[in-house]
Structure 1
């Protein structure tokens, strides 16, 4: 068996396991300025909330910026009035840290703070959050944590009750201060990392958002001897932090900066490979500036080497244009120069910086030239050979063209390379018509316009050639001269009718009603409808009306029934369906109960008659 395939596979495996990606950017100057503004507003806030002062001062510190003296004085005065040793432990921690960051002159009640903090670290009722901040307070004040074994036992007990990711983050911070007594937490580090949520395969975060992610990440990175994060995981956390650079709250800014600072100081510090400045170069200035830095845009220490353009391809046709080209150092420590002496176009370049890599896209700009240009008129039926005049850019045609409705305007030109936008414009006053130049081959273009079909009126039109593209440095409009057009059957200089303003109102056309029958027919059917009632009256007159079984209980029923009939008449004349139903409910209910009462009475009176028989 040949060893070449095995060797190739081994080299591929080694490359895949030792090469890493890079992060998508860094904390840019705009973001830094925005973070400073948010921190300034936090320090200026008219509030007694100590946390705002801490977040503002901490952000200034993490950005290595000095707090203005007026802000420092006002913040220290606010702290001196609001800080009390009886505050909750997180506020005590914020107050102590803010006082040290700002360099305040007032004296903290250190004895009371130490007494409360030591007691919290020995109490079985202390929450893991209180233990975390109490331990940090002691360390900030230069004190040792007494009985670290007892503190470690308290943390383990609390984690048995609630081992959420946030509590594990608190535990990481405390155990990092307990030295050997806190070694038990290293067994939980892998579990913590596994609980991170991956987003689109590019980012990692813990449930709870930016503050929770920052709390856990800064705690993990306090254990440099353990393999807490891989480089790929560190890059994904960095991408998440960069995606949250739009945060607007002082707490969010402070949390983001703390996590980013911890990452950049770790052994898995993310590497940012990006374009410094413009992604476009020109043929006379082909130097593309590449920045290789940490997440804050600062030089890496130690620097990663070598920095090489591993490959470059033209996006239009995927042709390889460069390979393994070293980058020269730039004027800044984190800056490198890649000369792109290539034809104008868009390019995709793979940059390697040590074991890190990133793909960037760059654009090379260049001029375009008109190599050959011809213009003239031809017969629309093709009966004669067109007469074309050659014109050299940027000159005009020797004399105005004379055309009519039976001719075509013919333009042929050749450019130094293909462009996306090539137009021929004819204009006269406020009237214009634009023709798209069709691409032929070998960077040749052609426009053929039927004057009789395309131009609405007779007039003198200015001819312009318009050339543009996203990768040319000299887009232009070339005024070629004029053409006088005479359109048969149309008045010269007649302005086209332009209709502007509101359109005519659209009126709904209802269907015409059907033709009504004759009046005699209507009267006949009316009489026919009333005939049964007339027959009833006649029969009553001859036979008579039998009121023998009439009872007063029938009166309410007949009144209700008559009301229903009257309601139907009103519905036909005036009422709508909803109003009719509203009136029918009480009237119908009354009629129902009256009828039920009447029928019950009639049933009771018939029973004795049957029993007598």
Structure 2
């Protein structure tokens, strides 16, 4: 009773601590993802592209990941930037990408920026310039080493544009632009709360803005430039980080650059998400029980301020919800971000609640261990249970000294006990290509039993190998044990053909179609065929009596009539053997040809009749 009270107290304490703690993110941008991002960025740099923005995003990805652009890619990328950079044809955003990518790549020489300053000034002074254009123009001017001359006027232009277009994309650009305007940009702080409220929450775990990864990244990096306004709280930052981690499969340079920019902004902010996750495998063994936990930022790097203490508040066995561990501090590992939790527990699945300072998460771990056969008995019993079965004890991995002799009136009986319960326990009887597998029934205290009726299950005289198969997801030594052999003698045994009928495929089911109804007499069919053809015959008779006027026939009409005839022929083929899809596929070009030639024929006829009307 005292033990139950202690466990109840521990559960209540864990629940209270979990309610007071903040959740963490369950992953980070691992080295594998970083390598994949760099590979995609490298392909973009060496590609023969006409999109200057892809070069910027690729170079920016290398910068954020603190990796140098490969020396063999730099000359090609720089040459592409110089070739594509054209002040007359490029929009202001691509001009910004060109200037910045030239700088990020560390290209030799200078980029021809003649006319860029004038274009930037025209945009910054134009009252019709969009917020995005004003943002890119101001950044381009800054990169060229010039200051924004009239920040107050630029702030007024932005506010005026937001009255006509306050979409999330415009608000994201406005955040970045306002951050560069100093005191003049404080107008945007009134919109921060409204921007955050517009974020969409998914399953209570993810947070994003409409527009996808690019828009979400633009807003995150913009909001975090106003730390004094506390734009995001810790739960919101964690959910945004979870959204970024859900997009690690992105395959474009633009998406990778946006993801990394947002992750970097979160990692360097006051609300930097904390990643608490298992490094490597989430399974341990009884010989090596140390579970390695990593506590880091979203990039897998050490936190600016180390969190302590790192404690396993509880470990619950999933099979029966029993708390088996409480308030166990983790040991410091080999790395600065690594902690070690010894799980000296019985094999099974466990749910572990971890706390790192005010942050918490729940992880699932698996403890593996060996399984042993404690007892094993095998023998034969009468099917009518007229006498007690004779069972022979056997020790794993030994085999039976002699063959078991059975017949159709007996059952094969196997009883065994394992050191722990398993999910897969089978008894396999095989002879050549023939086999039958019995599932061992679990009784109690890890005891299993198989009882097979030889007359029903194996109705053929033959010698069979007996094999015990044990497996489970939490054992380290799954095995197949050759127990021995059994020879079965069946009186009046069925033939192999009858056995195949018993256990093989069933006879083929043939469908009986209804006999066709009797057709009408031949004379009736000919009569109705003649009635169907009667209108055409009447037309031929009238043509022979009245005559056919071919004087106005022109060679211009030949293509039209050929097309019309082809359509009739196609309909005939459709009636005989074609389906609707093939018919429509042919009808489109044939019908188009007929329409074109018919239009030309009618136009010619109309032009030829105009002089006659004029004479009248």
Aligned twin of 1:312: 315
**Aligned mate of 2:39, from 20, 37, 43:** 37
Specify which of 514, 537, 548 is matched with residue 510 of structure 1: 514
What's the CA shift for 1:580?
6.3
* Aligned equivalent of 1:356, options 349, 356, 359: 359
Matched length: 525
**1:108 to partner: Cα distance:** 2.6
* Partner residue, 2:84: 82
Structure 1 residue aligned with 2:65: 63
- Listed as ranges, the gaps of 5+ residues in structure 1 are 1-10, 517-568, 588-613
Structure 2 unmatched ranges of 5 or more: 1-12, 540-616
The alignment partner of 1:497 has SS state of: helix
1:52 aligns with 2:54: yes
Counterpart-to-counterpart distance in 2, 1:129 and 1:512: 76
Paired with 2:529 and 2:418, the residues of 1 have a C-alpha distance of 81
Contact persistence 1:467–1:475 (CA under 8 A): yes
* 2:369 is equivalent to residue 366 of structure 1: yes
Q: Say if 1:457 and 1:495, in contact at 8 Å, map to a contact too.
A: no
Distance 1:582 1:264 in 2: 88
What residue is the counterpart of 2:429 in the other structure?
426
2:514 counterpart SS class: coil
Matches within 5 A, 1:167-246: 167-246=170-249
* Kept after mapping to 2: 8 A contact 1:571/1:580: no
1:320–1:504: structure 2 CA closer, same or farther, 3 Å change rule?
Answer: closer
Deviations 1:317-376 (A, max 9, x none): 000011111111111111111111000000000111111111110100000011111111
1:564 corresponding residue in structure 2: none
Please name the residue that 1:329 is paired with.
332
Structure 1 CA distance, aligned partners of 2:534 and 2:302?
A: 83
Report matched runs for 1:458-477 at 5 Å.
458-477=461-480
2:505 & 2:454 partners in 1: Cα distance? 30
In structure 2, what is the Cα distance between the partners aligned to 1:362 and 1:465? 29
1:257 CA drift (Å): 1.1
Structure 1 or 2, whichever has the larger Rg, is 1
For the residues of structure 2 that align with 1:236 and 1:582, how far apart are their CA atoms? Answer: 80
The alpha-carbon deviation at position 88 of structure 1 amounts to: 1.7
Please, what TM-score do these two structures have when normalized by structure 2? 0.80
For residues 110-137 of structure 1, the C-alpha deviation after alignment (integer angstroms, 9 at most, x for no partner) is: 5643343244323323221111011112
Matched, 1:265 2:275: no
2:160 is equivalent to residue 134 of structure 1: no
> What is the alpha-carbon root mean square deviation over aligned residues?
3.1
Residues 71/453 of structure 1: CA separation in 2 closer, same or farther (3 Å cut)? same
Q: Is the 1:457–1:494 Cα contact (8 Å) retained in structure 2?
A: no
Give the whole-Å Cα distance in 2 for the aligned partners of 1:572 and 1:340.
93
Q: CA deviation at 1:421?
A: 0.9
**Could you list the per-position Cα deviations for residues 185-223 of structure 1 after superposition, in whole angstroms to 9, with x for gaps in the alignment?**
101000001111111221111111111111111111111
Deviation at 1:292, TM superposition (A): 1.2
Please say if residues 281 and 365 of structure 1, whose CA atoms lie closer than 8 Å, have aligned partners that are also in contact: yes
The superposition leaves residues 466-500 of structure 1 with CA deviations (integer Å, 9 ceiling, x where unpaired) of 11111000111110111111012116988943698
* Contact 2:14–2:314 under 8 Å retained in 1: no
Which residue, out of 161, 164, 167, partners 1:164? 167
Shifted more, 249-258 versus 135-144: the winner is: 135-144
Select 1:278's aligned residue among 263, 277, 281: 281
Counterpart position of 1:382: 385
